[in-house]
Amino acid sequence: MISYGKHQFPGKLFVVEGTDGSGKSTQLALLHQWLKAEGYPVFFSEWNSSPLVKDTTRRAKRRHLFTPATFSLLHATDFADRTERDIIPPLKAGAIVLADRYIYTAFARDVARGCNREWVRQVYSFAVRPTVAFFFRAPLDVAIDRIVSGRPIR
């Protein structure tokens, strides 16, 4: 079993995971606002947001260009960049980092797409262990209603 980096930084890493439409992003945004209002230094990180690969990932998904392993490595690149730029520095400074999706998203998606489970865990073995991780669930009909009502159809 691979052990993820239990950090010694003074900051805290809070992670939320869950299906689209489960309410995770809404609740994390509310927590972010509350923590800031209380005077805590808070930083936010979300899945697939690194400027290094964000556009490439979007175009490749639209055109079905990559294999599951290539997508996994692209997402790992995104995650590594965000870890180095957006997660570790605030943790070192004693801040709270809120992450909307984390390595658990990669574990679920990549394995479901056919990547080897241990390979995916090894790819993400550099990840900082979160202080706490929450998984949000919602009934399928509720999640679909939230997705349809909250996002424009393309």
CATH number for 109: 3.40.50.300
Q: Are 15 and 124 in contact (CB under 8 A)?
A: no
In the chain, the number of structural domains is: 1
Look up the pTM and report it: 0.82
The string of pLDDT tens digits covering residues 80-98 is 999 999 999 999 999 999 9
Say what the alpha-carbon torsion angle 48, 53, 56, 60 is, to the nearest 10 degrees: -50
19 assigned to some structural domain: yes
Domain around 62: 12-144
pLDDT digits (tens, 9 = 90+) for 20-35: 877 788 889 999 999 9
Question: Residue 42 contacts by C-beta under 8 Å, 6 or more apart in sequence?
Answer: 32, 35, 36, 95, 96, 97, 98
Residue 134 inside a domain? The answer is yes
What pLDDT digit, counting tens, does each position of 88-137 carry?
999 999 999 999 999 999 999 999 999 999 999 999 999 999 999 999 88
